A and B are shown apart, each in its own frame.
Chain A
């Protein structure tokens, strides 16, 4: 052990000085979920298989395959079962988005889709924060 401690003394400490040093996560890393609306056919298998109820598919027009996916990043367990279940390969976990901390709860409700569709949804159902407040007062 004596040799150990002296050789450790002369080596650089192994501590990674986060946040000044940020290591890159490997390709395989399961970060935040990302959805590609162009490939989705609305089968909702991802939603059925999610163990944490983190996904919602809001249908605007089923025939024209216009959907908005609401992703609850705070409920997600980053298990990537949805990625496996999806047959159209429209879901992936972004390996570079691994610092999800935020000062507000509402940043965790992420809407994916076309700009116009999302605006439409938000108008109809209100912004996520408004929706949350409405839900709370009705309880």
Chain B
């Protein structure tokens, strides 16, 4: 079905509840919905199996308008339906959608703490992003909040008691733990070796990027968004720059788009190789870690030769790219790809045939197609369960129409399937890069781009190595954006991990965690999923020191 047909279907499904519909862009439908009809609207779409809730955005319309607009973005293939709800700035209320979309629970908690909107029907309304000691009543994403002052007033809290919680034996993983490459805090209640409960607290690297982006120009934001994550930095840069170019209605020239896709494919290879090593390390297979990270050097060297840096490539500018694939660099890329292809094929053999490895990966974390779709997961984890969802194929943008990517699917849904899918995606990326190199369009690398972007809003979706990356951009005619909303793919996969962890063996939990390819820095959010009265505390720097001192005997 084309976008037009999908949107027509959505329109008819929402005909009873909408107060006004518009088509701001060919693939977007905006429906104004009163807060009271929100659940009915979401149910209407879900009931007809139209789309998944990608995210919800809060936008402060300013002190004069005295309203906050909450946008619920539901995506189906390349069509995006946005349900727009307006609430008063102080004391606004929306009903919770978590009965319709499980992930809404997480997005709504962000809304509560960032904007001060009350969400009814949500059991756990504690902080998602912000520390526990954040001053009450201060909402960072409202335009007039002094964030610095609020941060200075944030207090720490008392550390929890170590040992047993009631009759549950709790194993903490993080914030410092050899299993984690980035900080996060998990608590697993175990009975022997079996996990009986799981809670998670993230957001240790929350940097307030969405707020910071509102104070910087569009050009400066290129580099801010790029640094949301180190390993999917180009995906963020691409999603952002695509969005800005859509707002300005100036597309980048074909050669630039092809080069962007080339770098994105290289980044995918980079990311999957890194993940392969980390996931193997979590399962205890150190040798695979060493080999895959050794081979990662090949792709990092290619990227360094092409863009000038091994991580954070900074290849994009508004309206194009900075660096060209010259006649000197193309053979270097090809040689590197040949080596990578050979290694990727070898890894495919290892992850599908090595007995000791399979004993730790096969049959663990099995997810059926229905479960994966109902939990609204994203990325290779979803594709390993057999659900065909990939933004590059569902909603191809720019050069992805000229150089299409084939979907990589597997039906087993377990850890081994995820390994297989990611290695096959590496091979697919290598193929696409070769096609791009053979058929690179001629032309300029960039076009002139204005500093002031005309007012409007747009949605930009990009398939990062971890799944769909969702950017909502709103401009106001100046050289600084009005609102930048970033929803990273990892946040959509957390509920799945916590659900699957319960009942699993403790030894399987780190590989399970690693299998969704979590990117904590992308995830600048804190999630706490309560499973029966767990403690949720945040530790400042002094607490661990004090605790360690109290805990020792000289």
Residues of A within 8 A of B (CB): 1, 4-5, 14, 25-26, 28-30, 48-52, 77-81, 84-85, 93, 95
Contact = CB atoms under 8 A, between A and B. Distances in A.
16 contacts: A1-B287, A1-B350, A4-B346, A26-B305, A28-B306, A29-B309, A49-B220, A78-B314, A79-B223, A80-B308, A80-B314, A81-B220, A81-B314, A81-B317, A85-B219, A93-B308
Nearest to B288: A1
Most B CB contacts (10 A, CB to CB) among A52, A79, A85 go to A79
A109 B109 CA distance: 43
A119 B227 CA distance: 37
B537 interface: no
Contacts of B323: 28
Contact of A51 (B216, B346, B354): B216
B168 interface: no
Contacts of B304: 25-26, 28-29
Nearest to A77: B223
Contacts of B322: 80, 84
Main secondary structure of the interface of A (DSSP, over half): loop
A45 to B, nearest CB: 10
A95 to B, nearest CB: 8
Given A77-B223, A81-B317, A93-B308, 15 more contacts: A1-B354, A4-B287, A14-B294, A26-B304, A28-B306, A28-B308, A29-B308, A29-B309, A51-B216, A51-B222, A51-B223, A51-B224, A77-B227, A79-B223, A80-B322
Given A4-B291, A81-B317, A28 B305 contact: yes
B478 interface: no
B12 interface: no
Interface of B: 216-217, 219-224, 226-227, 287, 291, 294, 297, 304-309, 312, 314, 317, 322-323, 346, 350, 354
A50 B220 contact: yes
Contacts of A77: 223, 227, 312
A84 to B, nearest CB: 6
Contacts of A93: 308
Nearest to B314: A79
B287 A5 contact: yes
A51 B308 contact: no
Query: Top 5 nearest A-B pairs by Cβ distance?
Result: A51-B220, A30-B308, A51-B223, A28-B308, A26-B305
Contacts of A85: 219
Nearest to B317: A84
A3 B219 CA distance: 50
A48 B218 CA distance: 11
A95 B314 CA distance: 16
A89 to B, nearest CB: 14
Nearest to A3: B346
A95 B305 CA distance: 11
Contacts of A81: 219-220, 222-223, 314, 317
Contacts of A28: 304-308, 323
Contacts of B350: 1
Nearest to B328: A27
B548 to A, nearest CB: 31
Contacts of A14: 294, 297
Nearest to A26: B305
Contacts of B291: 4
A41 to B, nearest CB: 19
Contacts of A84: 317, 322
B309 A30 contact: yes
Contacts of B221: 51
B314 to A, nearest CB: 5
